[in-house]
């Protein structure tokens, strides 16, 4: 017994070092798997508060740009209003509002929630965006996130008032995306080199692709609504050993100055996910 | 100034500098990430107890980790360099300087050549470990080598600038 105590006394520093190293590795392996970390919600609230203060100052410098983007988006949405269209067979204006459409039998599947970005990194290999909206304001893990220009990422941690988004610029981020013209679907990833380019993999070589083709979110994603803007094809690389192209996609959203985002809630997200995760019953 | 207050202020300033300035600079290249926050650990006093050094380094790394959303990624290399720091200082310093309580490692307490050796070895170790952890998750050997080299170069440049810009008032080494 005395020898054990002497041993501990002699190698106390080394034992401390080992304990702290093991703690780091445990934290690291747990966080990269599930993003539900040891006391992380409390810590996120604190770092969130600091981010909030800083972004309050920084926001003033980009007000002009933010306003321009929001007015552009407003104009685009106004152009899609039904009362802008005239029925060709009559001289009357067709006015349809959304409540009538719902009573016709259409169900709402997606709800949009606005949120203010208070923290954002682009220089690391695993980048996250922090927003000022949490589970108390309706945020859930797995919600899709889009900005006025294009998609941004997926919610991975929802604290009471602050949430963290895994940005598309994360080495583990994977989103199902398709080409607009022929709906061929591939998987959208980031290779860690340039924050304005993503990689779209698994596009078969049979499809005809040109530079500048639009890439949208696909119909197969559980959290993203289909046909949201992702970006445009910037470069086409064909792997000689496989039957697939890997396309370099210029992102529609500028990750350097994301200010406001929309969180998209799919009402049937949990239902779809639980069905997809259970193995099919034997027929 | 009371050393505890001084080092607490440095703790906050280095975290803020790394999170809100250096991490928001648009990257020149994938391999070049300006890391300078661990200078805090390099600048802790010579007489600090080894266990305290480890605990402080762990807290410091973990604080940065919660800002970047990667718990453990920066804490692990910080603890590693904090563990190796006393051995390295013992090798590089004359006996009487190593025991001088509140003095900090720096070019005026150690002399330029030993200080730069100290900085280069710990920077290489820190980046080597940090990128190794990243490499285990993704990337290739080229990624590992390139990133360690690029990041170390830019860190040493920034540390040299910091050393020249920030006058740390120290008693000059007694000339015999």
Q: B55 to chain A: which residues are within 8 Å by CB? A: 16, 20
Say how many CB pairs under 8 Å bridge A and B. 99
For position A270, what pLDDT does the model report? 86
- Inform me whether the pLDDT recorded for A138 exceeds 50: yes
Quick check: B2 contacting A, CB < 8 Å?
Answer: no
Residue of chain A nearest B131, judged by CA positions = A125
Beta bridge partner(s), residue A15:
none
- Strand, coil or helix: A114: strand
Q: B134 to chain A: which residues are within 8 Å by CB? A: 125
Q: Do A28 and B33 touch (CB under 8 A)?
A: no
B 3-32 → A contacts, CB under 8 A: 20, 23-27, 30
A 200-219 → B contacts, CB under 8 A: none
For position A91, what pLDDT does the model report? 46
Residue of chain A nearest B34, judged by CA positions = A123
Between the ranges A66-70, A171-175, B20-24, B54-58, where is the mean pLDDT highest?
B54-58
The residue with greater pLDDT, A60 or A200, is A200
Q: B51 to chain A: which residues are within 8 Å by CB? A: 12-13, 16
pLDDT digits (tens, 9 = 90+) for A231-266: 999 999 887 888 899 999 999 999 988 888 999 888
pLDDT digits (tens, 9 = 90+) for A17-36: 999 999 988 888 777 655 55
Q: Do A13 and B139 touch (CB under 8 A)?
A: no
Q: What is the mean pLDDT of residues A64-71?
A: 82
Residues B41, B81 contacting (CB under 8 angstroms): yes
Structure tokens at A24: 């780091």
Query: Which residues contact residue B132 at a Cβ distance below 8 angstroms, ignoring those fewer than 6 apart?
Result: B144
Phi, psi of A201 (to 5 degrees): -100, 170
Quick check: B66 contacting A, CB < 8 Å?
Answer: yes
Q: A128 to chain B: which residues are within 8 Å by CB? A: 68-69
CA distances from residue A20 to A61, B44, B62 in whole angstroms, order as listed: 41, 19, 11
Quick check: A159 contacting B, CB < 8 Å?
Answer: no
For position A99, what pLDDT does the model report? 43
Beta bridge partner(s), residue A146:
A151, A262
Is residue B77 exposed (0-12), middle (13-18) or buried (19+ Cβ within 10 Å)?
Answer: buried
Q: What is the mean pLDDT of residues B53-57?
A: 94
For position A95, what pLDDT does the model report? 46
Q: Considering CB atoms only, which of A23, A125, A193 is closest to B134? A: A125
- Inform me whether the pLDDT recorded for B93 exceeds 60: yes
Q: Do B54 and A17 touch (CB under 8 A)?
A: yes
Question: What is the ipTM score, two decimals?
Answer: 0.81
For position B90, what pLDDT does the model report? 87
Give pTM, 2 decimals: 0.76
For position A154, what pLDDT does the model report? 93
- Inform me whether the pLDDT recorded for A100 exceeds 50: no
* Gyration radius of chain B over CA positions: 16
């Amino acid at each position: 017994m005395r020898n054990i105590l002497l041993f501990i006394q002699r190698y106390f520093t080394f034992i401390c070092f080992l304990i702290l190293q093991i703690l780091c590795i445990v934290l690291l392996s747990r966080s990269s798997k599930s993003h539900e970390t040891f006391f992380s919600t409390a810590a996120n609230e604190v770092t969130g508060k600091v981010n909030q203060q800083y972004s309050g100052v920084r926001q003033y410098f980009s007000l002009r740009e933010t306003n321009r983007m929001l007015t552009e988006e407003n104009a685009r949405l106004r152009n899609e209003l039904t009362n802008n269209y005239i029925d060709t067979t009559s001289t009357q204006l067709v006015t349809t509002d959304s409540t009538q459409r719902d009573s016709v039998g259409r169900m709402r599947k997606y709800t949009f929630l606005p949120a203010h970005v208070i923290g954002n990194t682009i220089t690391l290999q695993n980048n996250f965006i922090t927003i000022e909206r949490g589970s108390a304001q309706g945020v859930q893990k797995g919600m899709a996130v889009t900005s006025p220009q294009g998609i941004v990422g997926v919610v991975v941690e929802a604290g009471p008032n602050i949430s963290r988004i895994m940005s598309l610029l994360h080495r583990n981020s994977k989103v199902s995306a398709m080409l607009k013209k022929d709906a061929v679907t591939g998987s959208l990833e980031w290779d860690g080199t340039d924050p304005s380019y993503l990689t779209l993999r698994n596009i078969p070589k049979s499809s005809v692709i040109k530079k500048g083709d639009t890439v949208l979110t696909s119909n197969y994603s559980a959290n993203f609504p289909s046909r949201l803007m992702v970006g445009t094809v910037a470069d086409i690389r064909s792997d000689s050993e496989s039957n697939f192209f890997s396309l370099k996609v210029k992102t529609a959203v500028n990750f350097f100055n994301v200010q406001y985002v929309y969180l998209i809630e799919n009402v049937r997200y949990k239902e779809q996910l639980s069905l997809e995760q259970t193995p099919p019953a034997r027929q | 100034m009371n050393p505890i207050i001084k080092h607490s202020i440095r703790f906050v300033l280095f975290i803020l500098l790394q999170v809100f300035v250096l991490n928001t600079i648009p990257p020149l290249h994938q391999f070049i990430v300006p890391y300078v926050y661990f200078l805090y650990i390099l600048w802790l006093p010579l007489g600090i107890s080894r266990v305290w050094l480890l605990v402080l380094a762990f807290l410091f790394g973990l604080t940065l980790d919660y800002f970047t959303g990667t718990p453990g990624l920066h804490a692990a290399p910080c603890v590693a360099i904090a563990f190796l720091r006393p051995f390295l200082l013992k090798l590089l310093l004359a006996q009487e300087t190593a025991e001088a309580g509140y003095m900090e490692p720096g070019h005026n307490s150690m002399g330029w050549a030993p200080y730069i050796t100290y900085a280069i070895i710990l920077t290489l170790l820190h980046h080597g470990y940090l990128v190794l952890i990243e490499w285990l998750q993704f990337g290739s050997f080229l990624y590992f080598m390139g990133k360690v080299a690029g990041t170390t170069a830019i860190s040493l440049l920034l540390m040299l600038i910091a050393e020249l810009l920030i006058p740390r008032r120290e008693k000059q080494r007694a000339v015999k």
